[in-house]
Amino acid sequence: MKETIISLNELYGCNVFNEAVMRERLPKAIFKKLKKTLDEGIALDPAVAEVVANAMKDWAIEKGATHFTHWFQPMTGITAEKHDSFISPTNDGKVIMEFSGKELIKGEPDASSFPSGGLRATFEARGYTAWDCTSPAFLKEDVSGVTLCIPTAFYSYTGEALDKKTPLLRSMEVISKQAVRILKLFGNDTASRVIATVGAEQEYFLVDQDMYAQRKDLLLTGRTLFGAKPPKGQEMEDHYFGVLKERVAAFMKELDIELWKLGIASKTKHNEVAPAQHEMAPVFSTTNIATDHNQLTMEIMKKVAGRHGLTCLLHEKPFEGINGSGKHNNWSLSTNDGQNLLEPGTTPHDNAQFLVFLSAVIKAIDTHAELLRFSAANAGNDHRLGANEAPPAIISIFLGDQLTDILEQIENGGATSSKQGGRIEIGVSTMPPLPKDNTDRNRTSPFAFTGNKFEFRMVPSSASIAGPNVVLNTIVADALCDIADRLDKAADFNKEVQAIIKEITAKHKRVIFNGNGYADEWLVEATKRGLPNLTSTVQSIPTLISEKSIETFGKFGVLSEVELHARYEIHLENYIKTINIEALTMLDMAKRQIVPASIAFVTELANSINSIQATGIDVDISAQTSLLKESSTLLGNLQKEVDALEKVNAIATEMTDAFAQACYYRDEVMKQMRAVRSFADQLETIVDSDLWPMPTYSDLLYYI
- Which residues here bind ligand ADP, judged by CB under 6 A? 197-199, 201, 281-284, 330-332, 340, 450, 452-453
Binding mask 292-321 for Mg ion (x = CB under 5 A): ------------------------------
| CA nearest neighbour of 234 among 321, 326, 327 | 321
Buried/exposed code over 653-683 (b: 16+ C-beta within 10 A; e: otherwise): eeeeebeebbbbbbebbbebbebbbebbbbb
Q: Which is nearer to ligand ADP, 418 or 469 (CB)?
A: 469
Q: How many CB atoms lie within 10 A of CB 245?
A: 14
Residue 192 contact partner, candidates Mg ion, ligand ADP, none, CB within 5 to 8 A by sort of partner: none
Contact 657, 620 (CB under 8 A): no
The residues near 503 (Cβ < 8 Å, ≥ 6 apart) are none
Give the shortest CB-29-to-Mg ion separation in angstroms.
44
Give the shortest CB-191-to-ligand ADP separation in angstroms.
15
The helix (run of H) or strand (run of E) holding residue 335 is strand 327-335
Q: At what angle do helices 670-684 and 561-589 cross, to 10 degrees?
A: 30
Contact 484, 433 (CB under 8 A): no
Residue 117 contact partner, candidates ligand ADP, Mg ion, none, CB within 5 to 8 A by sort of partner: none
Give the shortest CB-172-to-ligand ADP separation in angstroms.
13
Q: Which is nearer to Mg ion, 164 or 328 (CB)?
A: 328
Q: Which is nearer to ligand ADP, 129 or 297 (CB)?
A: 297
Residue 297 contact partner, candidates ligand ADP, Mg ion, none, CB within 5 to 8 A by sort of partner: none
The SS3 assignment for 16 reads: strand
CA 163 to chain centre: 16
Q: Which of these ranges, 16-24, 322-330, 409-417, 477-485, lies near Mg ion under the rule CB under 5 A?
A: 322-330
Residue 374 contact partner, candidates ligand ADP, Mg ion, none, CB within 5 to 8 A by sort of partner: none
Q: How many CB atoms lie within 10 A of CB 689?
A: 9
Residue 283 contact partner, candidates Mg ion, ligand ADP, none, CB within 5 to 8 A by sort of partner: ligand ADP
Contact 679, 641 (CB under 8 A): yes
Give the shortest CB-697-to-ligand ADP separation in angstroms.
30
Q: Which of these ranges, 130-138, 324-332, 467-475, 693-701, lies near Mg ion under the rule CB under 5 A?
A: 324-332
Q: Which is nearer to Mg ion, 211 or 290 (CB)?
A: 290
Give the shortest CB-415-to-ligand ADP separation in angstroms.
24
How many whole angstroms separate alpha carbon 328 and alpha carbon 315?
15
Give the shortest CB-199-to-ligand ADP separation in angstroms.
3
Q: Which is nearer to ligand ADP, 161 or 198 (CB)?
A: 198
How does DSSP assign 260-275, residue by residue? HHTT--EEEEEE-SST
Q: How many CB atoms lie within 10 A of CB 309?
A: 13
How many whole angstroms separate alpha carbon 322 and alpha carbon 674?
16
Which residues, 40 to 69, sit near Mg ion by CB under 5 A? none
Which residues, 605 to 664, sit near Mg ion by CB under 5 A? none
Q: Which is nearer to Mg ion, 329 or 462 (CB)?
A: 329
C-alpha dist (Å) from residue 65 to 131, 148, 523: 19, 6, 55
Parallel/antiparallel/unpaired status of strands 447-449 and 397-398 = parallel
Residues in the interface with Mg ion (CB under 5 A) total 1
Q: Which is nearer to Mg ion, 331 or 664 (CB)?
A: 331
Give the shortest CB-193-to-ligand ADP separation in angstroms.
15
Q: At what angle do helices 493-508 and 466-489 cross, to 10 degrees?
A: 140
Residue 410 contact partner, candidates ligand ADP, Mg ion, none, CB within 5 to 8 A by sort of partner: none
Give the shortest CB-274-to-ligand ADP separation in angstroms.
19
Q: Which is nearer to ligand ADP, 423 or 441 (CB)?
A: 441
Q: Which is nearer to ligand ADP, 221 or 445 (CB)?
A: 445
Give the shortest CB-201-to-Mg ion separation in angstroms.
5
Residue 449 contact partner, candidates Mg ion, ligand ADP, none, CB within 5 to 8 A by sort of partner: none
Q: Which is nearer to ligand ADP, 154 or 284 (CB)?
A: 284
Give the shortest CB-266-to-ligand ADP separation in angstroms.
10
Q: How many CB atoms lie within 10 A of CB 343?
A: 16
Q: Which is nearer to ligand ADP, 439 or 474 (CB)?
A: 439
Q: Which is nearer to Mg ion, 518 or 702 (CB)?
A: 518
Q: Which is nearer to Mg ion, 265 or 581 (CB)?
A: 265
Q: How many CB atoms lie within 10 A of CB 5?
A: 9
Residue 340 contact partner, candidates ligand ADP, Mg ion, none, CB within 5 to 8 A by sort of partner: ligand ADP
C-alpha dist (Å) from residue 296 to 18, 31, 272, 291, 631: 16, 27, 21, 9, 47
Q: Which is nearer to Mg ion, 116 or 375 (CB)?
A: 375
Give the shortest CB-269-to-ligand ADP separation in angstroms.
12
Contact 69, 84 (CB under 8 A): yes
How many CA atoms lie within 13 Å of 59's alpha carbon, on the beta-carbon side?
23
Residue 381 contact partner, candidates ligand ADP, Mg ion, none, CB within 5 to 8 A by sort of partner: none
SS (HEC) of 151-211: EEEEEECCCCECECHHHHHHHHHHHHHHHHHHHHHCCCCCCCCEEEEEEEEEEEEEEEHHH
The SS3 assignment for 332 reads: strand
Binding-site member from 181, 216, 328, 567 for Mg ion (CB under 5 A): 328
Residue 332 contact partner, candidates ligand ADP, Mg ion, none, CB within 5 to 8 A by sort of partner: ligand ADP
Parallel/antiparallel/unpaired status of strands 145-156 and 65-71 = parallel
The residue at minimum Cβ distance from Mg ion is 328
Give the shortest CB-182-to-Mg ion separation in angstroms.
27
Q: Which of these ranges, 172-180, 215-223, 325-333, 693-701, lies near Mg ion under the rule CB under 5 A?
A: 325-333
Give the shortest CB-12-to-ligand ADP separation in angstroms.
16
Residue 281 contact partner, candidates Mg ion, ligand ADP, none, CB within 5 to 8 A by sort of partner: ligand ADP
Q: Which is nearer to ligand ADP, 330 or 649 (CB)?
A: 330
Q: Which residues are registered as beta bridge partners of 152?
A: 131
Q: What secondary structure letter does DSSP report for 350?
A: G
The residue at minimum Cβ distance from ligand ADP is 199
How many whole angstroms separate alpha carbon 242 and alpha carbon 257?
22
How many whole angstroms separate alpha carbon 403 and alpha carbon 421?
12
Give the shortest CB-268-to-ligand ADP separation in angstroms.
6
Residue 695 contact partner, candidates Mg ion, ligand ADP, none, CB within 5 to 8 A by sort of partner: none
Give the shortest CB-369-to-ligand ADP separation in angstroms.
21
Q: Rule CB under 5 A: which residues touch Mg ion? A: 328
